[in-house]
């Protein structure tokens, strides 16, 4: 039994009256049946809503269209022309995929996703989606990745793409024309930077990004940075895609933030890649309850107009009952069945239903369309969505996967991956689309089916272009029009970090917090900084920023915070600057993407700094980071509490020794592991200039505002005195990835070179002293801020030499730098050995032409809960291990007696037979 706490706990002030109501209901159920009872109840709740009785929302409604036909608005378009345009687009989308696969077998492409959603997109393109030609940012439209052929087909009709582009679908490098002018398989701004804006093909990422984009638009508006009132965010989602946790994971935020600037269109074709999405249930009903429960406005578009007539006759509720009780697996079956089967199995069992469709032929029965193919129903839903206030809207549109592509494709379980069509199938498609005049039989006889584009002076073309002109130009279109330029901070902003911490012990995280505050205070530039913090500000010691910068809260702070009397109280404000996302790294990354692409998507460069637990960044939301790179996002990602041994006590799932490696896999990510505050300042200063400064170096992918790149920096929580920037060191030395930090001490005879990064600086420096004091070794110290950069530059040199043997020998920067050092090279890091190993191939050779010994000390293996000292000893990266590594290398080359190494191990308590930490 389920209890309603409300009715059970409040006193009944008139039990007699209550009983009368209950008796009436019982009487209706007995005499008129349950359908009638349900009908009356639903009328009562509707009335209660109208009179604002405040009855709780139901999570499900019957399996019907939300907007009844009598409330459908007049359709303002030219129905005939739109239908014809849809037919052209459908045709070209199919032909480009078919042709691509005839020309290059296995090149892939998708026919059936767009075939099911053509009307959903086209109603948007003809009536709703706003472009940018009025000088504003327009709408943000997230297109389902697999629907790309349909979007190319429309751009072709608009004259934005030509035959050779379509012929080069999925041939981005060579293509038949060999001009590299191909079309990317899916929406990739990186590869088609004038066209695509939102990379969506990794399922679930488009949906979550669209929510945070809508919220970020509100943030910009509330902070008086950009007027976003006219921009709507549209996101097209697959019904199968809803299984990804990212898709539904943040929908409550959209309702909580009252994002009525957000519309989702879920294409419920009931199928995903392998088969039905919910064969045994109904995906539309399931999604309805989830979205209603989360506070969204839900509009179901289930049935096409022809069903309205049948429903009007449904006095016994038998049709509704059948609709409600038929599962999706059966609906899919009906989509592939002939009229006789539908008559027999859907309408057949109940004589009242059978009678209802007596007047319809088998063909008419089969042609009863689903709502998602009915432009009038779609128009009504989109209009209602744009007029909705106070909540986001989701449109659940029922379609057939592969619609119009013929019986061998439509609704088949294999439909998602069908990419070939025979000439006969294409002929059927041509007939179905009534394109005989445009595509004659003769054109389909050979192996090269034609595209079709109506002439420029045709009514179709004029209409198509006229609609887009009225809606401010074509879409998707990635145009960078900087409407509000960014002024970079003056050079002296960073001076305070050059002098060191003056005897005080601080961490790089503390230094960064101070830097962030300084940057936020810079006039003009400051408001463009977007600090993003998941629920960890206190962990990072950044809670001091709450009061000064305030946490963004669209509705302000309606309560008095518990710590209101403290200097550092929890302060929320409508124009707050900090995005405090709670425990969602995915949400923080979606913020980062929205802010980091605002230069392109809104013409307003914004500078996100997203600081997270380094373990929960690339590892946890790596795919969102990959998509941010594809979207050409800019900004700074900061992995705090970095290092496998710098975070005491936390253990295996917290101690990060590999995010630098993961970060190095992202082509546009600049990866740095600084040890000192002045290094951090140099990297941030250079980063701002590279990303947001005016000119882009030749050969680098960028735009008018700077390079399309972003930074990943590690921040540690270990406190030590921040040294001043050594006099001989320039900012360029620091950002180059490697520079000599301290020369070898005078006196000792044997040379060695130690490279350190991040918090490993302590062990390296102590080792230098130990080596000089006890072992007659003079080690010089180098700070390695970015092994990724060193490796990339070395690879570029290697490649140049491979292809240009005629040029004089050129050394990689890292090789050249290390050539000025002597002795064995030992690199120590709080990350995996693979990080320094990135340069192992590029160490210089000695006078005899033999590569100098190179040893990486790092933290391979799972973390442990322990003290920092114990961890560093365990992972073999502490002072003693650095000393032993140097000595052992010297012994290897015969410069030292092995006994010295054994003595040193004893001195530093190293057990030569200790188990290997990377294997435990």
DSSP 6-30: HHHHS--S-HHHHHHHHHHHHHHHH
Q: Which among 268-276, 311-319, 583-591, 743-751 is the span making contact with ligand TPP, rule CB under 6 A?
A: 268-276
> Three-state DSSP class for 639?
strand
**d(C-alpha 591, C-alpha 220), whole Å:** 12
879 binds, among Mg ion, ligand TPP, none (CB under 5 to 8 A by kind): none
Of the candidates 754, 774, 95, the residue with the CA atom closest to the CA atom of residue 421 = 95
273 binds, among Mg ion, ligand TPP, none (CB under 5 to 8 A by kind): ligand TPP
146 binds, among Mg ion, ligand TPP, none (CB under 5 to 8 A by kind): ligand TPP
643: left (phi over 0), alpha (psi -120 to 50) or beta: left
Residue count, binding to ligand TPP (CB under 6 A):
19
Q: Which among 236-244, 321-329, 557-565, 640-648 is the span making contact with ligand TPP, rule CB under 6 A?
A: 236-244
CB of 461 to ligand TPP, least distance (A): 29
Q: 141 vs 763, which CB is nearer to ligand TPP?
A: 141
Q: 239 vs 572, which CB is nearer to Mg ion?
A: 239
> Does residue 402 bind ligand TPP (CB under 6 A)?
no
Cα distances from 342 to residues 11, 353, 354, 355, 369, in angstroms, run 52, 12, 10, 13, 13
Q: Which two tokens stand for residue 398?
A: 């029922």
Measured in Å, how far apart are the chain's first and last C-alpha atoms? 52
Q: Which of 170, 373, 401, 881 binds ligand TPP (CB under 6 A)?
A: 401
Omega of the bond leading into 666 within 30 degrees of 0 (cis): no
Q: Which among 237-245, 377-385, 474-482, 532-540 is the span making contact with ligand TPP, rule CB under 6 A?
A: 237-245
> Could you tell me the maximum CA-CA distance found in the chain, to the nearest angstrom?
108
Q: 187 vs 737, which CB is nearer to ligand TPP?
A: 187
Q: 277 vs 520, which CB is nearer to ligand TPP?
A: 277
> Does residue 239 bind Mg ion (CB under 5 A)?
yes
Helix, strand, coil content of the chain in percent (nearest 5):
45, 10, 45
574 binds, among ligand TPP, Mg ion, none (CB under 5 to 8 A by kind): none
Of the candidates 472, 459, 401, 470, the residue with the CA atom closest to the CA atom of residue 82 = 459
CB of 339 to ligand TPP, least distance (A): 25
Residue count, binding to Mg ion (CB under 5 A):
5
**d(C-alpha 772, C-alpha 712), whole Å:** 35
Strand arrangement, sheet containing 710-714 = 579-582, 529-534, 607-613, 635-640, 710-714, 669-672
**Burial, 521: exposed, middle or buried (Cβ in 10 Å; 0-12, 13-18, 19+)?**
middle
* Residue number closest to ligand TPP, CB atom: 238
Q: Which two tokens stand for residue 815?
A: 């090789």
Q: Which among 163-171, 217-225, 271-279, 841-849 is the span making contact with Mg ion, rule CB under 5 A?
A: 271-279
Q: 113 vs 705, which CB is nearer to ligand TPP?
A: 113
CB of 205 to ligand TPP, least distance (A): 8
Q: Which among 232-240, 662-670, 727-735, 840-848 is the span making contact with ligand TPP, rule CB under 6 A?
A: 232-240
Q: Which of 203, 301, 409, 506 binds ligand TPP (CB under 6 A)?
A: 203
Q: What x/- string results for residues 130 through 159 when contact with ligand TPP is judged by CB under 6 A?
A: --------------x-x-------------
Q: What is the dihedral of CA 238, 242, 247, 249, to 10 degrees?
A: 160
Q: Which two tokens stand for residue 601?
A: 């998507």
**d(C-alpha 549, C-alpha 551), whole Å:** 7
Q: Which of 98, 161, 201, 839 binds ligand TPP (CB under 6 A)?
A: 201
Q: What are phi and psi of 777, to 5 degrees?
A: -115, 130
CB of 623 to Mg ion, least distance (A): 20
Q: Which among 69-77, 238-246, 329-337, 831-839 is the span making contact with Mg ion, rule CB under 5 A?
A: 238-246
CB of 237 to Mg ion, least distance (A): 9
> Does residue 200 bind ligand TPP (CB under 6 A)?
no
**d(C-alpha 868, C-alpha 269), whole Å:** 55
Question: Within 180-238, where are the H helices?
Answer: 205-222
Q: 209 vs 271, which CB is nearer to ligand TPP?
A: 271
CB of 82 to Mg ion, least distance (A): 24
Q: Which two tokens stand for residue 666?
A: 């992202």
What residues numbered 270-329 form the site for ligand TPP, per CB under 6 A?
271-273, 277
DSSP 505-524: EE-HHHHHHHHHHHHHHSTT
> Three-state DSSP class for 777?
strand
Q: 146 vs 658, which CB is nearer to Mg ion?
A: 146
202 binds, among Mg ion, ligand TPP, none (CB under 5 to 8 A by kind): ligand TPP
Cα distances from 822 to residues 736, 771, 817, 851, in angstroms, run 21, 15, 11, 12
Size (the chain), residues: 920
CB of 330 to Mg ion, least distance (A): 17
What residues numbered 75-114 form the site for ligand TPP, per CB under 6 A?
113
Strand arrangement, sheet containing 854-857 = 738-742, 777-784, 750-756, 825-828, 854-857
**CB atoms inside a 10 Å sphere around CB 348:** 14
Helices 79-103 and 375-387: crossing angle, nearest 10°? Answer: 100
Q: Which of 124, 187, 238, 476 binds Mg ion (CB under 5 A)?
A: 238
Q: 269 vs 759, which CB is nearer to Mg ion?
A: 269
DSSP 519-587: HHHSTTTGGGEEEEEETTTTTTT-THHHHHH-EE-TT---S--TTTTSTT---EETT--BEEEES-HHH
Q: 271 vs 597, which CB is nearer to Mg ion?
A: 271
> Does residue 269 bind Mg ion (CB under 5 A)?
yes
Q: 242 vs 890, which CB is nearer to Mg ion?
A: 242
Q: 357 vs 400, which CB is nearer to Mg ion?
A: 400
228 binds, among ligand TPP, Mg ion, none (CB under 5 to 8 A by kind): none
Q: 238 vs 489, which CB is nearer to Mg ion?
A: 238
> Does residue 267 bind ligand TPP (CB under 6 A)?
yes
Rounded to the nearest angstrom, the gap between the alpha carbon of residue 601 and the centroid of all alpha carbons in its chain is 15
What residues numbered 497-556 form the site for ligand TPP, per CB under 6 A?
none
**d(C-alpha 526, C-alpha 509), whole Å:** 20
Q: 145 vs 823, which CB is nearer to ligand TPP?
A: 145
Q: 205 vs 549, which CB is nearer to ligand TPP?
A: 205
Q: Which of 187, 206, 207, 240 binds ligand TPP (CB under 6 A)?
A: 240
Q: Which among 195-203, 219-227, 253-261, 832-840 is the span making contact with ligand TPP, rule CB under 6 A?
A: 195-203
Q: 278 vs 644, which CB is nearer to Mg ion?
A: 278
Q: What x/- string results for residues 405 through 434 when contact with ligand TPP is judged by CB under 6 A?
A: -----------x------------------
**d(C-alpha 567, C-alpha 454), whole Å:** 68
CB of 241 to ligand TPP, least distance (A): 4
Interface residue list for ligand TPP (CB under 6 A)? 113, 116, 144, 146, 201-203, 238-241, 267, 269, 271-273, 277, 401, 416
Interface residue list for Mg ion (CB under 5 A)? 238-240, 269, 271
């Amino acid at each position: 039994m389920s209890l309603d706490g409300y009715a059970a706990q409040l006193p009944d002030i008139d039990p007699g009256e209550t009983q009368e109501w209950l008796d009436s209901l019982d009487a209706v159920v007995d005499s008129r049946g349950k359908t009638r009872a349900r009908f009356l109840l639903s009328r009562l709740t509707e009335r209660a809503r109208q009179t604002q009785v405040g009855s709780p929302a139901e999570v499900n409604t019957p399996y019907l269209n939300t907007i009844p036909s009598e409330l459908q608005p007049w359709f303002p378009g030219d129905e005939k022309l739109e239908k014809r345009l849809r037919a052209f687009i459908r045709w070209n989308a199919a032909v480009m995929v078919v042709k691509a696969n005839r020309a290059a077998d296995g090149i892939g492409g998708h026919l059936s996703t767009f075939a099911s959603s053509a009307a959903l997109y086209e109603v948007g393109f003809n009536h709703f989606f706003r472009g940018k030609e009025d000088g504003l940012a327009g709408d943000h439209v997230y297109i389902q990745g697999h629907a790309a052929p349909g979007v190319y087909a429309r751009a072709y009709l608009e004259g934005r793409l030509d035959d050779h582009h379509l012929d080069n679908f999925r041939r981005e490098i060579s293509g038949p024309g060999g001009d590299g002018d191909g079309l990317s398989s899916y929406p990739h701004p990186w590869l088609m930077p004038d066209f695509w804006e939102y990379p969506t093909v990794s399922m679930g990422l488009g949906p979550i990004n669209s929510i945070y984009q809508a919220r970020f638009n509100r943030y910009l508006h509330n902070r008086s940075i950009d007027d976003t009132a006219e921009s709507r965010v549209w996101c097209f989602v697959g019904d199968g895609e809803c299984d990804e946790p990212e898709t539904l994971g943040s929908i409550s935020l959209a309702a909580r933030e009252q994002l009525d600037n957000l519309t989702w269109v879920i294409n419920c074709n009931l199928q995903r890649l392998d088969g039905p999405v919910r064969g045994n249930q109904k995906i539309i009903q399931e999604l309805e309850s989830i979205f209603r429960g989360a506070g969204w406005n839900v509009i179901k578009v289930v049935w096409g107009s022809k069903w309205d007539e049948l429903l009007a006759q449904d006095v016994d509720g038998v049709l509704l009952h059948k609709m409600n009780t038929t599962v999706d697996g059966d609906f899919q079956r009906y989509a592939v069945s002939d009229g006789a089967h539908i008559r027999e199995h859907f309408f057949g069992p109940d004589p009242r239903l059978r009678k209802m469709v007596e007047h319809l032929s088998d063909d008419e029965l089969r042609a009863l369309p689903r709502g998602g193919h009915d432009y009038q129903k779609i128009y009504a839903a989109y209009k209602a969505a744009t007029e909705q206030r106070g909540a986001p809207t989701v449109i659940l549109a029922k379609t057939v996967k592969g619609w119009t592509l013929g019986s061998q494709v439509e609704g088949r379980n294999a439909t998602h991956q069908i990419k070939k069509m025979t000439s006969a199938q294409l002929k059927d498609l041509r007939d179905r689309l009534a394109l005989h005049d445009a595509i004659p039989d003769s054109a389909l006889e050979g192996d090269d089916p034609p595209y079709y584009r109506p002439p420029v002076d045709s009514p179709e073309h004029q209409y198509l272009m006229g609609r887009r002109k009225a809606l401010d130009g074509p879409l998707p279109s990635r145009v960078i029009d900087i409407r509000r330029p960014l002024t970079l901070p003056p050079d002296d902003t960073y001076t305070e970090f050059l002098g060191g911490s003056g005897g005080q012990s601080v961490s790089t995280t503390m230094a960064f917090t101070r830097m962030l505050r300084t940057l936020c205070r810079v006039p003009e530039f400051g408001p463009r900084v977007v600090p993003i913090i998941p629920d960890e500000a206190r962990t990072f010691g950044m809670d001091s920023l709450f009061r000064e910068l305030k946490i963004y809260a669209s509705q302000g702070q309606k309560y008095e915070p518990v710590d209101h009397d403290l200097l550092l109280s929890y302060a929320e404000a409508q124009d707050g600057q900090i995005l405090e996302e709670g425990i969602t790294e995915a949400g923080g990354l979606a913020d980062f993407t929205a802010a980091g692409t605002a230069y392109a998507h809104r013409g307003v460069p914004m500078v996100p700094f997203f600081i997270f637990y380094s373990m929960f960044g690339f590892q946890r939301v790596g795919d969102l980071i990959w998509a941010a790179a594809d979207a050409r996002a800019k900004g700074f990602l900061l992995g705090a509490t970095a290092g496998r041994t710098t975070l005491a006590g936390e253990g295996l799932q917290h101690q990060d020794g590999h995010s630098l490696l993961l970060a190095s896999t992202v082509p546009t990510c600049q990866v740095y592991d600084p040890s000192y505050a002045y290094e951090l300042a140099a990297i941030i200063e250079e980063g701002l200039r590279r990303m947001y400064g005016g000119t882009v170096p030749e050969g680098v992918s960028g735009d008018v505002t700077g390079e399309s790149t972003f930074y990943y920096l590690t921040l540690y929580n270990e406190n030590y005195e921040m040294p001043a920037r050594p006099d001989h060191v320039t900012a360029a030395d620091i950002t180059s990835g490697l520079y000599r930090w301290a020369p070898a001490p005078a006196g000792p005879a044997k040379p060695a070179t130690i490279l350190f990064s991040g918090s490993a600086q302590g062990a390296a420096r102590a080792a230098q002293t130990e080596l000089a004091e006890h072992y007659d070794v003079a080690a010089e110290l180098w700070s390695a801020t970015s092994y990724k950069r060193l490796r990339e530059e070395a690879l570029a040199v290697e490649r140049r030499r491979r292809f240009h043997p005629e040029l004089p020998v050129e050394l990689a920067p890292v090789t050249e730098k290390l050539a000025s050092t002597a002795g064995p090279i030992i690199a120590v890091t709080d990350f995996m050995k693979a990080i320094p190993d990135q340069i192992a191939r590029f160490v210089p050779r000695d006078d005899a032409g033999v590569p100098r010994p190179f040893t990486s000390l790092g933290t391979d293996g799972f973390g442990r809960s322990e003290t920092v000292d114990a961890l560093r000893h365990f992972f073999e990266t502490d002072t003693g291990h650095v000393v032993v590594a140097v000595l052992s290398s010297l012994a290897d080359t015969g410069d030292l007696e092995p006994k010295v190494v054994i003595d040193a191990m004893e001195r530093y308590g190293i057990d030569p037979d200790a188990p290997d930490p990377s294997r435990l």
